Every structure is written in C-alpha cells, then in structure tokens.
C-alpha cells in the first residue's frame, strides 16, 4: 500500500493534526500511528495526559470515514465526536517519544451515527474505548459551512 498523507484525510491543521501516519485500513477499520510530542499543546516534560487518547482515536475514526468517502469518489464530510463509553487506560500519561498504535473498528454505522471500538497500544500501554460519532450527510455539512 502506498503511504497515505494524513493531511489529505483530516480537516485539522498545525498542532491539532495529531496523527503521524496511516498504517493500514479496510472498509471496517483503520490503524494509525502517533508519535507523542512535547509541543506545549497537550504535552509537557512529563508526557501527554492519557485522556488525549480519545482525540487520537477520534482523529483515526475521522480519517477512516474520509478515506471511505475518497475511495467512493464522494467529497469528505464533517464528523462529530458525540462521546465515549468506558474509556480506560493503564497509564496516566503517554511518555514523550512513545510511538502509539491507534486501532479503530466499526461496530455499527447507520443514518450517520456510528460506534467504533478503539484501542491504543505501545510497549506497556493499553487504552480502550467505544466512541460514538455522527457524520451528517453532505447537505447538512453545506449548511454548517456557510
């Protein structure tokens, strides 16, 4: 598989672009990579709070949705994180320099609503959650953009 530029799949810019690389994907899942940084946005010398993992997961879900749109020849849609259920992490912080693997798997997606099983792994790290997301159709997105 050719390397996929993350910035082609996400609307995020600058330091809010938290994903570094797309590792692989299919119609039901995606795996991304995040290198934990001390850039002052979320991280400091002690690391990045593990709760930021929810955003790593959400950006991977968004990248997956936009990849599916791209492959189908559709324009990308805005998406919204509605919430999460049972986020857990065996660490309080992700260490600076750690390379995290973020895996998202679609459980269900119907009428714009979706639920994804998500996991972050690295040596000594395991964080898990189910994310609830909403991706309105393109007509709704045009209204939001105006």
- Name 86's Cβ contacts closer than 8 Å, sequence gap at least 6: 128, 129, 130
Q: Looking at beta carbons, which pairs linking 37-43 to residues 24 or more positions away fall under 8 Å?
A: 37/96, 38/96, 39/15, 41/15, 41/16, 43/96
Give the Cα separation of 66 and 96 in Å (integer): 29
The residue segments making up the domain with residue 46 are 6-145
22's tokens: 């797309």
For the chain, the domain total comes to 1
pLDDT tens digits, residue range 90-146? 999 999 999 999 999 999 988 889 999 999 999 999 999 999 999 877 544 444 444
The pTM score is: 0.89
pLDDT tens digits, residue range 25-51? 999 999 999 999 988 789 888 999 999
Considering the domain boundaries, does residue 124 fall inside one?
yes
Considering the domain boundaries, does residue 87 fall inside one?
yes
Read off the DSSP letter of residue 28: S
Considering the domain boundaries, does residue 20 fall inside one?
yes
32's tokens: 């991304």
Considering the domain boundaries, does residue 34 fall inside one?
yes
132's tokens: 């609830």
pLDDT tens digits, residue range 56-65? 999 999 999 9
For residue 27, the domain's CATH number is: 3.10.129.10
């Amino acid at each position: 598989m050719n390397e996929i530029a993350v910035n082609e799949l996400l609307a995020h810019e600058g330091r809010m672009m938290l994903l570094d690389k797309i590792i692989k994907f299919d119609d039901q899942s995606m795996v991304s990579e995040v290198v934990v940084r001390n850039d002052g946005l979320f991280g400091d010398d002690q690391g990045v709070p593990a709760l930021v993992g929810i955003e790593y997961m959400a950006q991977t879900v968004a990248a997956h949705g936009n990849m599916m749109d791209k492959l189908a020849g559709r324009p990308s849609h805005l998406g919204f994180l509605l919430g999460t259920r049972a986020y857990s992490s065996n660490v309080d912080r992700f260490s600076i320099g750690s390379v995290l693997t973020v895996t998202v798997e679609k459980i269900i997606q119907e009428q714009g609503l979706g639920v994804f099983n998500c996991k972050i792994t690295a040596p000594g790290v395991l964080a898990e959650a189910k994310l609830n997301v909403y991706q309105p159709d393109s007509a709704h997105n045009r209204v939001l953009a105006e």
